[in-house]
Structure 1
Amino acid sequence: MYASNDTNTDDSHSLLIRGGFLRPAHSGVFHLLPLGLRVQNKLESLIDKHMRSIGASKLSLSSITTEELWKQSGRYSSNSELLRIDDRRKSNFLLSPTHEEEITSLVASIVRSYKQLPLRLYQTGRKYRDERRPRQGLLRAKEFMMKDLYTFDCNHEDALKTYEEVRKAYNNLFDELKIPYLVADADSGNMGGKLSHEYHFVSPKGEDNVWRCQSCNYVANEELVEKKTIEHAAPLGHPPLLFKGISTDRTTAINIRVPRPPNVPANENPSWSRASEFLNLHAVKRTGVDIDAGIESETLSSLLLKTTSSIDINDQSLTDSTTTSSSPTYDLTPIKRDDPCPRCDSGKLRVSKAIEVGHTFHLGTRYSTPLSALVAGPNNQQPSAMHMGCHGIGVSRLIGSIASMMAHENGLHWPRVIAPFEVVVITTKEVSEENNMEVYDALAAQGDIDVVLDDRKAQKGMPWRMKDADLIGYPVKVILGKSWRENSEGREKREVEVQCPRLDVKKKVKVEQLKSEVSDLLDRL
């Protein structure tokens, strides 16, 4: 498998542009050119293959949705990244960033009985978001391609079985790309539900932090990662740090106490801007307290005077002498490199930057209940809400991240399964069209190798075409060069040069053995 390197993500994006895969249209918006569309189409075909393996049916939902549906589900916010359409009738349309509301409404209008379940529907289409700061090319754009699968079951147990089937299909899909990936326990966020997993490529240019154990298979994202609980008391003479906050509804004062590190003087209490140095804010969120940590200290002081109740949240290491005995305790300190793994006895935790390329969510009845997606059960049972799952793969983001992961100093590498062409035949103007086609046909026969002939009439010669092939990233190159011309009159001696950069292969091959040699190289990729 091909390992990640330190190639700059912006450099890989420029390689996609220079290689003729895409062109920027506007900030965060891109046009796909023919080579880029071939990569995208092959990736979609790979996805289709693995969606069929779990009995999913493909459909195409409209890119337009409405504020009304999003208000029904409780996800609408005027401050969110939703792109709005202001039509002449003021219809409050939105460009969909995701389709939970629309698919639930559609299924609710069609499915009435448990006998019509399970149902697995997916699409690959354009999504939109009002991205405040588009960056890193296809990795963070306003318009993007995404595959989303929606599953519907009549009860919780069946929905969990479906969830595991989808996870298996995702693993098989990513295995076929032959690029190392991580599957992390994840937080569901505003999608809803309490069970989800993220698929990541480890990359220094990623925006996510993924923690993993060096000894066992424990992997979790930053929101859910835990460390092993170790009981110890706060050092004497070191009063705890106190972070004062307020609930988002402004009614409750929140006091959070964590151990004071030895390098923080006893009379100093760091501000919220430095809280992440001493406090795991994700752990605070998991306590169930809805805290607003983004208020300036002057404003916060005046708001706290108006609160009607208070909550104390204390780190588990603090002794009763520093907290009230009735206050709940949690592990609130930040997770650090080499902290003990929560799942095994000897493992240590390490963190890596990563790019998220897929996500699976078990939604339960998060959308089916508010949108009345109900089915009648067996034996005339009363209608109940369907149990749902949502499973996404960022198609355009996956293309951008693979380019980032597999770029090299001269251009791109592609996994065989999504390469724009598996093989390029490179020739010069000295070679006749008849000879070009002889070599091309030797590879293209039976249609099992995806091959392209570079016989462009440009004035630039073989060196330019070779550099262009490296830039585009064809897995295998077949060259009709010096060896072919020198033996052009002796058919039995004619040889082409075969190169496979990823396998470090460069060899002379007779035309009669060409297809078997190239097929062997492709099978090894």
Structure 2
Amino acid sequence: MIKFNTRSFVRYVHVYQAKKLSKGVIESAATHDLLQWLGFVKQTQSGLVHWLPMGLRTLNKITHVIKYRMNTYGRAHEVSLSTLSPRALWLRTGRWGNSELFKLKDSKGAEYCLAPTCEEEITSLIGAYVSSYKDLPLLAYQVTRKYRDERRPRGGLLRGREFLMKDGYSFDVTKESAIETFNRMNKCYDLIFQDLRVPFVSAWADSGDIGGDMSKEYHYLHETGEDVLMKCTSCESVSNVETCNSYPVKEGEHGGDVDVRYALNKERDTLLCLYYPKGRTLNWNHVKGIMDDDIDLALRETSNDKILEIFSEKYPEDEAMFASVIRVMDCRLNSHSNFPDFPLKQYLKSNFAQLTGESLVDAVHQEICGECKEGSLEAAKSIEVGHTFYLGTKYSERLDGKFMTKDNNEQLMEMGCYGIGVSRLVGAIAQVTRDEKGLRWPKSSAPYEISLCAAQFDSKVEEARDLLSSHADELWIDARDKVSLGRKISQSHCLGIPLCVIVGNKHWPHVEIEVRGRRVSDQWHAKYNQLAQEYQWTMLPASNDAFEKHRVHKNHLSDVAAILLTDM
């Protein structure tokens, strides 16, 4: 338990006392500012924070939830890899050129990066130990700091340059067993996010630069989120907008202006002309699927003029008419749509192909689901907090991650990777659970589960503290002088502590409990009906703006606190 006098409390909530936060200030404040005012973190520069005692307790509690499930259900081995990763490994995987890497040199001129993720390091490490199929499967994870040179850090803890991350990696003999591990880890993630007690959704997603052809994201729905999820009203499939395929309510419904993006196949000898409604966002994942992966995505940020210039280099002027061209028409277009001029003056019809009826753009709200083709799509903004990937052999192939099979043949290990943004979770949970009175943590992530408040620290408070000894590690005592009881209670609520135990002279030996936590179930009520008389436990009437209140005899304070916390 922690007892705060005025001086120590100022170290925790130094700005909070100075600002005297009002309801209006709290409501309008950004969540990251609120976390700073309340002494959870202190931002030093954009994207960088110091973790203060309150914030560190929340961070450690979330970490404990994750480690428990990874160790038990996940059956994983915990490791701790070096933060410095040598350039040679990243060159072998082709990721050294990533613009978000923090790079540095040692005194001998050797180059390293600060690891933003550890596929290179873990594959190299496991490859040095695994020699036989008998050594597999294997699953390792760590919870450690990662670094990413974000150009525009934003959202406080949601997108920083230094962050705490849980990253796990699996190694299997076959693709089938690797997918089984991938599915098992998704069930493990379901348990982790259930334990955190904040409603979440999982969605199929784009694997991005990590690689692989199967990935799943975990999200908290919130209007401030940067991601967009689409859910079908019929088949109930949920996917990130980056992977969601959709169709218009009526095919060919767009008769207005048309945008075009030019692209090239991997050999750069075929020009792709991608036509879609002006104002919509071209979805490169859809294009990749249509072209069976034969598209040079390295050029997706390249201008149309530059694409045409690169394409023309493949064909001398007298051979330009023999160029291969594929026009891809989005299914929302029709013959009356206003198409831009075609870029080539001459071409042979035999080298010209056209694909129609394809969906090339990001899905939007109320379009038809591309999976079942029956339901309509509902869009919702969200905050991503976890991501799982089936990687295949992308990294084991490039880093020589091999083993000997039962038949004494060399074979590449099949891999998966599994990430959770631990520090990001602190910001995300704070964001989605806060209200007009401040933070409102679930029990699993609250810095303390119970606060003990009184007008002054006296023998009654000491007795209440002793009666709550079974909650000692989760007990926070506000023993400040010259601070009113009402202010102490409101500050406890603003900090998001689920229960506030109030000790006063008026009702002693009974004490009051104000409930700040949000319930995820209603199990406590059955216990209340069963034990109310024995425990001298009454639920007090509350006005519309007041908190739920209970009064209980001090001898049963600990039991009642435990019952009330069960559902939070």
Please state which band the TM-score falls in when normalised by the shorter chain.
Answer: 0.7 to 0.9
| Aligned with residue 336 of structure 1, among 364, 377, 380 | 364
1:192 matched residue in structure 2: 211
1:283 matched residue in structure 2: 286
User: For 1:266-285, what per-residue CA distance to the aligned partner results, in whole angstroms no more than 9, with x for missing partners?
Assistant: xxxxxxxxx55274444224
Task: Confirm or deny that 1:202 pairs with 2:230.
Answer: no
Note if contact 2:263-2:273 (Cα within 8 Å) is conserved in structure 1.
no
Equivalent residues in 2 for 1:207-356 (5 A)?
A: 207-227=226-246, 232=251, 241=258, 243-247=260-264, 251-252=268-269, 254-258=271-275, 276-277=279-280, 279-287=282-290, 288=293, 289-290=295-296, 292-296=299-303, 299=306, 302-308=309-315, 309-315=323-329, 317=331, 326-329=353-356, 330-344=358-372, 346-356=374-384
User: For 1:97-151, what per-residue CA distance to the aligned partner results, in whole angstroms no more than 9, with x for missing partners?
Assistant: 0000000000011111111111111000000011101111101100000001111
1:176 matched residue in structure 2: 195
1:416 matched residue in structure 2: 443
Q: What secondary structure is seen at the aligned counterpart in 2 of 1:498?
A: strand
With normalisation by structure 2, the TM-score equals: 0.80
Note if contact 2:276-2:360 (Cα within 8 Å) is conserved in structure 1.
no
Cα-Cα RMSD: 2.8
Note if contact 1:212-1:351 (Cα within 8 Å) is conserved in structure 2.
yes
| Aligned with residue 495 of structure 1, among 510, 514, 534 | 510
User: For 1:333-362, what per-residue CA distance to the aligned partner results, in whole angstroms no more than 9, with x for missing partners?
Assistant: 442221122344642101111111000001
Residues 279 and 113 of structure 1: is their aligned pair in 2 closer, same or farther, counting only changes over 3 Å?
A: closer
Alpha-carbon distance in structure 1 between the residues aligned to 2:134 and 2:309? 58
2:74 matched residue in structure 1: 54
Alpha-carbon distance in structure 2 between the residues aligned to 1:224 and 1:133? 25
Residues 280 and 104 of structure 1: is their aligned pair in 2 closer, same or farther, counting only changes over 3 Å?
A: closer
Amino acid of the structure 2 residue aligned with 1:499: E
User: For 1:396-429, what per-residue CA distance to the aligned partner results, in whole angstroms no more than 9, with x for missing partners?
Assistant: 0011000011111221011111211110111222
Alpha-carbon distance in structure 1 between the residues aligned to 2:300 and 2:558? 63
Amino acid of the structure 1 residue aligned with 2:171: F
Residues 343 and 139 of structure 1: is their aligned pair in 2 closer, same or farther, counting only changes over 3 Å?
A: same
CA drift of 1:154 comes to 1.1
1:269 matched residue in structure 2: none
With normalisation by structure 1, the TM-score equals: 0.86
Task: Confirm or deny that 1:364 pairs with 2:392.
Answer: yes
Task: Confirm or deny that 1:154 pairs with 2:154.
Answer: no
1:82 matched residue in structure 2: 101
Alpha-carbon distance in structure 2 between the residues aligned to 1:389 and 1:407? 35
Residues 438 and 233 of structure 1: is their aligned pair in 2 closer, same or farther, counting only changes over 3 Å?
A: closer
Q: What secondary structure is seen at the aligned counterpart in 2 of 1:465?
A: helix
Q: What secondary structure is seen at the aligned counterpart in 1 of 2:212?
A: coil
Residues 194 and 293 of structure 1: is their aligned pair in 2 closer, same or farther, counting only changes over 3 Å?
A: closer
Alpha-carbon distance in structure 1 between the residues aligned to 2:268 and 2:428? 44
CA drift of 1:204 comes to 1.4
1:512 matched residue in structure 2: 555
Q: What secondary structure is seen at the aligned counterpart in 2 of 1:410?
A: coil
CA drift of 1:507 comes to 2.2
CA drift of 1:513 comes to 2.1
Residues 498 and 319 of structure 1: is their aligned pair in 2 closer, same or farther, counting only changes over 3 Å?
A: closer
Alpha-carbon distance in structure 2 between the residues aligned to 1:230 and 1:414? 42
2:567 matched residue in structure 1: 524
User: For 1:445-490, what per-residue CA distance to the aligned partner results, in whole angstroms no more than 9, with x for missing partners?
Assistant: 3x5872222223x432223312221221100000113xxx135xxx
Q: What secondary structure is seen at the aligned counterpart in 1 of 2:244?
A: coil
Note if contact 2:429-2:441 (Cα within 8 Å) is conserved in structure 1.
yes
Alpha-carbon distance in structure 2 between the residues aligned to 1:90 and 1:68? 13
Equivalent residues in 2 for 1:392-411 (5 A)?
A: 392-411=419-438
Alpha-carbon distance in structure 2 between the residues aligned to 1:213 and 1:351? 9
Gaps of 5+ in 1: 1-6, 261-274, 488-492
Identity of aligned residues (%): 34
Of residues 239-248 and 515-524 in structure 1, the stretch that sits farther from structure 2 once superposed is 239-248
Equivalent residues in 2 for 1:369-380 (5 A)?
A: 369-378=397-406, 380=407
CA drift of 1:521 comes to 0.9
Alpha-carbon distance in structure 1 between the residues aligned to 2:454 and 2:54? 20
Task: Confirm or deny that 1:63 pairs with 2:70.
Answer: no
Amino acid of the structure 2 residue aligned with 1:418: S
Alpha-carbon distance in structure 2 between the residues aligned to 1:22 and 1:248? 48
1:455 matched residue in structure 2: 479
Amino acid of the structure 1 residue aligned with 2:567: R
Q: What secondary structure is seen at the aligned counterpart in 2 of 1:277?
A: coil
Of residues 391-400 and 239-248 in structure 1, the stretch that sits farther from structure 2 once superposed is 239-248
Note if contact 1:58-1:123 (Cα within 8 Å) is conserved in structure 2.
yes
Residues 346 and 304 of structure 1: is their aligned pair in 2 closer, same or farther, counting only changes over 3 Å?
A: closer
User: For 1:481-517, what per-residue CA distance to the aligned partner results, in whole angstroms no more than 9, with x for missing partners?
Assistant: 3xxx135xxxxx5221100024542122210221222
Alpha-carbon distance in structure 2 between the residues aligned to 1:277 and 1:352? 18
